[in-house]
Each structure stands twice: as C-alpha cells, then as structure tokens.
Structure 1
Amino acid sequence: MSQPAQPKSLAANFNLIPKIVNGGIAGIVGVSVVFPLDLVKTRLQNQTIGPNGEKQYKNMLDCFKQTYRAEGYFGMYRGSAVNILLITPEKAIKLAANDMFRYSLSLADGSLPVYRQMIAGGAAGACQIIITTPMELLKIQMQDAGRVAAQAKAEGKTMPRITAMQITRKLLAERGVIGLYKGITATAARDISFSVVYFPLFATLSKLGIRNEKDITPPFWWSFLSGCAAGSTAALVVNPMDVIKTRMQTLTKGKGERQYSSVFDCAKTTLMHEGPTAFFKGGMCRMIVIAPLFGIAQTVYYLGIAERLLGYPLVRAV
C-alpha cells in the first residue's frame, strides 16, 4: 500500500507481482475478520423507516442480535464465499494499482505532491470497479436475504433461500453480463472518492510516525494505526454514496420498500422521505469494518509476506 515517496533510484526495485499477492492476502484475511459487521451494515442501510417511524432494527447491536437469533453464527457469514472469492482480485487491483500510479506520478526527486497522490488513489479506485461491482451486487443480495425473509415471516409468508450462483444465472439470463454491473455508477463514485481520501491521508499520517531522519518507514504499530484511522475517516466521508450504492444494488425489496431508477432518483427519494441522516445509516458500522480491514492490509504490506514467500527483496517504500 502507500508509503512515503522515495527517490526513483530506490523505487527501481518496484515489483508488481508481490504487490498483487499482498493485496489478495490482505483482502482474504480482512474480510474473514470483519464480515459479520459488514452484513449488519448492509441491513441497516437497506431498512427504511415506516409511516409511523417504525424500524426493523433499532441500532447496530439490535441488528446483530436479531440476525444471530434468527440465523445463527453462520448466518452472519451469508455471502462471505462470494466476497472472499472476489476480494482477492479486487484488493490486489486496488492496492497494487495505487502503488503503480504513485510510482509513475512521482517527481524526479522522488517526491509526490498531494494532488498527485489524490490522482493516483482515484485512478486505483477506478480500476477496481470491474471486480467490485459484481462482487458487491451478489454480496448484498446474500447479506440482505435474511432481513427480507424476516419481514416475510412476520407477514406469514416464506422466502426461498437463494444462492449466489442462482442470482448470477438469473441476472445473466435476464440482462446478460451487464446485469452484473447494476449500480456501477454509484460504486464508481464511492470507490474513487474513497481512494482519493484514503491513500493521501494514510501517507500523511504514516509520515508523522517517522521520528528518525535515517528511517524511511514508521514503526509497524504506527503503520497499522494509520491504516485504521485513514480507512475509518474515508469510510465516513463516502458513506452517503455507499448507502445509495447498497440500495441501488438490492434486487429483492421488502414490503413497502422503494425501487430506484437512477443514482439521482435514489438520492432525491431518500432525502425526501427519510431526511439527510439516512445517508449516514450504517456509518459507524462501516467505520468499524473499514478500520481493521485497512489496518490488516497495511500489516500485510509492512511485513512483506508476499516478498518473503516469493523471494523478492523487501522494499518498504511508498
């Protein structure tokens, strides 16, 4: 991931393969740890307020309790198989692309102005959406199925269990490959803006941990905390786009829930019926999810796990 910029001579050891492998490892480990919280975040973002102000879930803890009580421990991991399968290329593309763009945009003396860091981050975010969009679409259907099933049960109805493969086949049959990219505009807006905020912020925080002029990287623990802080901050900033993306990509709606024709329609309708606070639903949960996810990613990069496994030189550079 991003580290403080270094002279081009030092960065000549830049190798793309270990960056990709590190990104994949970081994604698998991170998702496995935080997935239950991500599921709760999705359900909180999708629930709408009833005409009398009623809510299916009171808060994050209540959503967690209801989900666990109704679906058990493994119910908290609904959709995780799809996420773990696709998170490897998604994180690999995001993290490796950011490093590649940072290296390419570095000035001759190795410095990297903030505006160039933002360009590099945004470009990396744009690269990942080819994987992120179908991954998020399938994950959201699986995560939200329990919430919709609970609503149906309360009305005396039953909802058949679905699998990611069934959803994929249905989308391909009805809409072709383009069906897997429903919500791509909202996904792009979220992922590009997240990366524009996250990567420069992490690099700035990381530099603050360098106390000795001879050191080129901060201590391990500082790198971890910088990843957590930058990740949670960026997550909160872009949460409105994440709410819109989640609602756009939810195919099966509960009783009384709205369908949206576009990103603008979703934003306008949500604001009109639920007010501005609706755009920050699941915000705290998302911050709690993203903080360790990127802290873990920084740990993988700092330790150079792929470099050690593949025999590449370990170069902790940004």
Structure 2
Amino acid sequence: MADKQISLPAKLINGGIAGLIGVTCVFPIDLAKTRLQNQQNGQRMYTSMSDCLIKTIRSEGYFGMYRGAAVNLTLVTPEKAIKLAANDFFRHQLSKDGQKLTLLKEMLAGCGAGTCQVIVTTPMEMLKIQLQDAGRIAAQRKILAAQGGTQASVEAPAAPRPTATQLTRELLRSRGIAGLYKGLGATLLRDVPFSIVYFPLFANLNQLGRPASEEKSPFYVSFLAGCVAGSAAAVAVNPCDVVKTRLQSLQRGVHEDTYSGFLDCARKILRHEGPSAFLKGAYCRALVIAPLFGIAQVVYFLGIAESLLGLLQGPQA
C-alpha cells in the first residue's frame, strides 16, 4: 500500500498551481458575480454578466476587470492547496481498511476539506469583495450625482481606491482579527455544503470515465468531471454565497440595506427582492467554478508537482 500514500508537499504544490491558473482565467467573471450579487432592487447598475463586464471596461479600463485579483492570486494557492490536500487526507484516513469509500465517507471527507479551507477563504473573500465592488459603488454615486444636477460632484476627482494592504491594516486596527473573518459563518455554510456535494460527485463522475486497465482517468475525463461537479455544487450553494457576499461588503450604495447577521440578511433579501434574488450571479458562479475546478483537477491528477519534485530529487539509486 506504499504507493497509495499521499505526498502532502506534492498535493499542496498541485493545488497552488491549479489555483493560480484557474483564477487568472476566470477572475473577470467572478468580479461580475460579486457586483451582480451586491446590487439591490431599485439600485440596479447591471442587467447581466456581459453588461457588467462591458460597463466595467468602459468606466475602469480592461484592468478594472481584475480589481482584487492580486488578493486572490496571493491567497488562492494556500486556499486551493488546503482544500484539495485536506480532501485527499480525509479520504485516505477514511479508507485505511482498504475498502472502497462509501458515499457517506466521501461526504465526510468533503466536509472536512470545506471546514479547513475557510481559514484562508474568509479573509481572502473579505478583501476581494471590497476591491471588486468599489467600482460599482463609485459608478452608482456618480450617476446619482449627475441625476441630481450636482455637476461639481461629478467632475470632482475620484477618491483613490484602497489597496488590499490598506484594507487589512484598517480592519485589524478597527476590529482586530475578527474584522478579517466577518462572514465566517456564511462562508462555512457555503463552503462545507459545496465540498460535500463537489468531491463525491467528482470522484464518482471521474470513476465512470476510468478505463478498466488504467490507474487514472484520462485528463479530459478529470477536466469534464471537475467542470460538471463544480457547476452543480456552485449553483446548489449560491443562496449562501449571495448572503455571504452581502455580509462581507463593508461599503453600501445609496439606499441599500445593511445587515446584522446571516438570518437578518436572508430575511431582508427575501422580503425586499424575492426568492429569485438568492440565485443572483448563479450562472456567473457556475462559469467561474466549472473551469476553475476542471483545471484544478487536471493539474492535480496529472501530478505536475510530483514530476517537479522528482526532477529536483534526481534519479534514485
């Protein structure tokens, strides 16, 4: 069973590489998702993902679509590494008897992975959301000022947008470490069910495409399984993602609701915007998660890190 032992350094490196590639590819869609989820009825700036991206490019330039990407690229490596490696670890621990994992054990492994990742996910999402939504707030205020005839306000130079470092310092100074973990409960309610759905679904879809004579599925099977499982899990937990995004947004547009907690936020969304509001950004999130996890699983199962570590260690005697 020695060949079945998991190599933790390799899993961490694979998760990191996968996260960097995936985030770079899909970040603009994630920005659109955040802005669509944050806008409330009566203050709608965007009608769809494409409308959001077009308006973002017009008002903030091409690189406006990557606002907050630096935070994600910095923290996605430990986040994805923890998530994928933790799932592998728990699956390994739960299958020590040599038996095939039952669905319940697969779900338990996913639950463990989702719980571990929030250590990094919560502050990453907290900072990213502030940076992603800053352009929407600024544009909304400019439009309202123009409609009110306050030309001087429109022509006044825009206030400099804060950086992730400035936001971190301000949150730590004003609220302590708890400031970076605002929305932790909502993040857990999103990420734990996501992992419970995603990992068992991926494992079973991936198994379906594995030839009997092969130890691993072909890379395209892993990619498609990651895409399908990621999309399904993303849509399933989107209501919690909407609530999490609202709770973690520190700046509000004019006349937008504020929230005291998860239940208060969910009630106000339901009362003022209807049940459909919980699906805001769902297709954007599916478009983000599908390639992100497809790429992640290909990198992970191709074992790129194992090859790199093998080269560094040199030929064995």
What TM bracket, shorter-length normalisation?
A: over 0.9
Query: Which residue does 1:217 correspond to in 2?
Result: 216
Q: % of aligned pairs identical?
A: 59
CA distances 1:188-219 after superposition (whole Å, capped 9, x unpaired): 110101000000000010011023x2222221
User: Which of residues 40, 56, 61 in structure 2 aligns to 1:48?
Assistant: 40
Number of residue pairs aligned between Structure 1 and Structure 2: 301
Counterpart AA for 1:72 = G
TM-score (norm 2): 0.92
Task: For 1:184 and 1:106, locate their aligned partners in 2 and report how far apart those are by CA, in whole Å.
Answer: 30
Structure 1: which amino acid aligns with 2:103? V
Shift of 1:79: 0.4
Displacement after TM superposition at 1:58 (Å): 1.0
1:23 correspondence with 2:15: yes
Q: Distance in 1 between matches of 2:208 and 2:302?
A: 20
Secondary structure of 2:87's aligned partner: helix
What amino acid does structure 2 have at the position aligned with 1:192? V
CA distance in 1, matches of 2:69, 2:252: 21
C-alpha deviations, 1:133-168, integer Å up to 9, x for none? 000000000000000000111133444311111111
What amino acid is aligned across from residue 25 of structure 1 in structure 2?
A: I
Among 133, 152, 163, the residue aligned to 2:141: 152
Structure 1 partner of 2:277: 278
Q: Structure 1 regions of 5+ residues with no counterpart?
A: 1-7, 313-318
Aligned counterpart, 1:171: 171
DSSP 3-state at the match of 1:155: helix
Distance 1:270 1:116 in 2: 35
Deviation at 1:109? 2.6
- Looking at structure 2, the residues matched to 256 and 160 of structure 1 have their Cα atoms a distance apart, in angstroms, of 23
Mapping for residues 1-318 of structure 1, pairs under 5 Å: 8=1, 10-12=3-5, 14-50=6-42, 55-156=44-145, 157=153, 158-211=158-211, 213-311=212-310
Contact 1:202 1:230 in 2 (8 A): yes
Cα distance between partner residues in 2 of 1:110 and 1:10: 16
**What is the CA–CA distance in structure 2 between the aligned matches of 1:74 and 1:169, rounded to whole Å?**
24
State the distance in 2 between where 1:92 and 1:59 align: 32
Secondary structure at the counterpart of residue 66 of structure 2: coil
**Unpaired stretches in structure 2, ≥5 consecutive residues:** 146-152, 312-317
In structure 2, give the amino acid aligned to 1:122.
C
Q: How far does residue 9 in structure 1 lie from its aligned partner after superposition?
A: 5.2
CA deviation after TM superposition for structure 1 residue 268, in Å: 0.6
Paired residues of 1:118 and 1:196 also in contact (CA < 8 A): yes
Letter in 1 for 2:160: P
Q: Output the CA distance in 2 between the equivalents of 1:164 and 1:34.
A: 20
CA contact (8 A) 1:90 1:132 kept: yes
- The 2-side partners of 1:32 and 1:302 are apart by 20
Q: Kindly indicate whether the alpha-carbon contact (under 8 Å) linking 1:223 and 1:299 is maintained by their aligned counterparts in 2.
A: yes
Would the aligned equivalents of 1:82 and 1:138 in 2 still touch at CA under 8 Å? yes
Contact preservation (8 Å) 1:152, 1:159: no
Provide TM-score, normalisation by structure 1. Answer: 0.92
Which secondary structure state, in structure 2, belongs to the residue aligned with residue 76 of structure 1?
A: helix
